Amino acid sequence: MIENHSYAQLEALNLPLHELRAAVEMIALRERNPILDASASRMAHIEAAIALLDDSLFYARMYKDTSEEGKVLRENLIDDSEMIISLIRNGGIYP
């Protein structure tokens, strides 16, 4: 319900993902909070997945390439997408 949210909460709900991630990163650093740090990392993975999906959709819409190069590109998009999906579902890669 919108009436139960403050203006600041409504603004936060409408932040673009990259701005939300940056805010969470800042708070995680300030608070030294590993959960918020992991959340920011997961958001970065989500941003990467979105970029891959955008690229995949563009490629699927624009190209009907059956050449070896086209096949390799499609396979790379699939492999990259599967890796990012795994990171989002299962957690990130530890430094």
- Answer yes or no: is 28 within a domain: yes
Q: What is the reported pTM?
A: 0.67
- Confidence at residue 10, expressed as pLDDT on a 0 to 100 scale: 81
Count: domains in the chain: 1
- Confidence at residue 23, expressed as pLDDT on a 0 to 100 scale: 95
- Confidence at residue 91, expressed as pLDDT on a 0 to 100 scale: 66
- Answer yes or no: is 95 within a domain: no
- Confidence at residue 35, expressed as pLDDT on a 0 to 100 scale: 96
Query: Mind listing the pLDDT tens digit for each residue in 22-80?
Result: 999 999 999 999 999 999 999 998 998 888 888 887 877 777 777 888 888 888 888 88
Per DSSP, the three-state class of 81 is helix
Give the C-alpha separation, 77 to 60, whole Å: 11
Q: 44: domain range?
A: 2-90
- Answer yes or no: is 16 within a domain: yes
Asked whether the beta carbons of 73 and 59 are under 8 A apart, the reply is: yes
